[in-house]
Amino acid sequence: MRQYLNWKTYLAIMALFIVGASLYYTNQLAGKLAVEERKKVEDIAQALKVLSSPDYTHDAEIEAINTLAQNKTIPLIIADEHGNIKDKINIDSSRALGRSNYLAHQMSKYQSQHTPVKVDYGTGIDYVYYGDSYLLTQLRYFPYVQLAIIIIFLIVVLLALNAAHRSLQNQVWVGLSKETAHQMGTPLSSMEGWLELLRDDHSNADALTEMQKDLDRLKLVADRFGKVGSAPRLEEENLITRLQNIVEYMQKRSPKKVTLTLHHKEAEVPVNISGPLFDWVMENLIRNALDAMDGQGRIDITVTNTLSQVAIDVQDSGKGIPAHQVKKVFTPGFTTKKRGWGLGLSLARRIITTYHHGSIFVKNSEVGKGTTFRIILRR
């Protein structure tokens, strides 16, 4: 359960608690107000009875008139026992114009809200149908308005916090990348010098050639780190040629029982990319795939070209990713390896989404069968 409990969950629980407490308290107030309004309607029914009878004193009649006059909020409809409407109080007459059944509809509505109050005159019976006052209606709807306000507030807070969090992550990534490039500069220069000295001994020409390739690769890596944080220049390149070079390079540095295969239907697929940064992403995905396999298996890279976009699938036959971890793989610091900072995939996503305006995600993964990452580059 801990994987689902984070500060967002606690914030949502707190908001629900506030809304629940507010709803309970408001319902209690609404219930008390409804009881008071019922009593007022009963007093009005008694006043109607007083005014229709000649047996009550003058003071009782004045009190009855005052009781009727004091009702400024509760809408009433007075009807006889056959449902014929005799009078109305606190109901807008303009709404009834042109609508002959308006009062009948209101009376039916009031009857569904409250039991009508019976007025027994002795010679006949009337019923007082009444609805909620404006204040009671507002009080009943208040919790839902409050809930909507809290939800909007939570959304704004979460968006602001996420934006601040992403900004902080970006600063960390940029600073870390540039510092790494700076730190790599000195030993690379020294290695270049040592290689020049070793070239004087022609007995290891083949080894020196491969060492020079790896040194050039390290320079390229340092250059990639240096470019993180600054907008790269995108240039049109043939994606197939770029991927073939990556596959060739990584195949030589993979276990012998691991096969890397590039699948494509077209010889040329032009895309706008930053070559060094795109290579970084692909190498990172391939390296992760190699780490997920026990020295043997397949890595298939498939290019699907359409009019609107190009999809690159990197599929491996490794261990796979558990379902509850799929959404976390691009989170900075998340890693399943014993060593590593967990920044590779998060940097890969930044390169694809921010710099190339595309997308990268886990297309599918099954434990024990492998994982497929998909990169989409839009035209």
User: Stretch 165-192: mean pLDDT, rounded?
Assistant: 68
Distance CA 337, CA 290 (A): 12
5, pLDDT greater than 80 = no
Mean pLDDT of the chain: 83
pTM of the model: 0.52
What residues contact residue 370 under an 8 Å CB cut-off, 6+ apart?
A: 292, 297, 315, 316, 317, 318, 319, 320
As given in the structure block, the two tokens for residue 351 are: 């390169």
- In one-letter notation, the amino acid at residue 111 is Q
User: Stretch 349-358: mean pLDDT, rounded?
Assistant: 90
Superfamily of domain 233-378: Histidine kinase-like ATPase, C-terminal domain (3.30.565.10)
75, pLDDT greater than 60 = yes
User: Stretch 125-133: mean pLDDT, rounded?
Assistant: 91
Higher-scoring residue by pLDDT: 267, 233:
267
Which residue from 279, 293, 291 is spatially nearest to 242, judged by alpha carbons?
Answer: 279
Residue 118 backbone dihedrals phi, psi, to 5 degrees:
-85, 135
Beta bridge partner(s), residue 372: 315, 364
Q: Give the 3-state DSSP-derived string for 28-87, with helices as H, strands as E and coil as C.
A: HHHHHHHHHHHHHHHHHHHHHHHHCCCCCCHHHHHHHHHHHHHCCCCCEEEEECCCCEEE
Tell me the CA distances in angstroms from 343 to 2, 31, 45, 163, 232, one per residue in order: 23, 57, 76, 19, 20
- What are the extents of the domains in the chain? 2-132, 158-230, 233-378
Task: Note the pLDDT of residue 360.
Answer: 96
371, pLDDT greater than 90 = yes
pLDDT above 90 coverage of the chain, percent: 28
Task: Note the pLDDT of residue 3.
Answer: 45
Task: Note the pLDDT of residue 4.
Answer: 45
User: Stretch 210-225: mean pLDDT, rounded?
Assistant: 74
Lowest mean pLDDT among 34-38, 280-284, 347-351, 360-364: 347-351
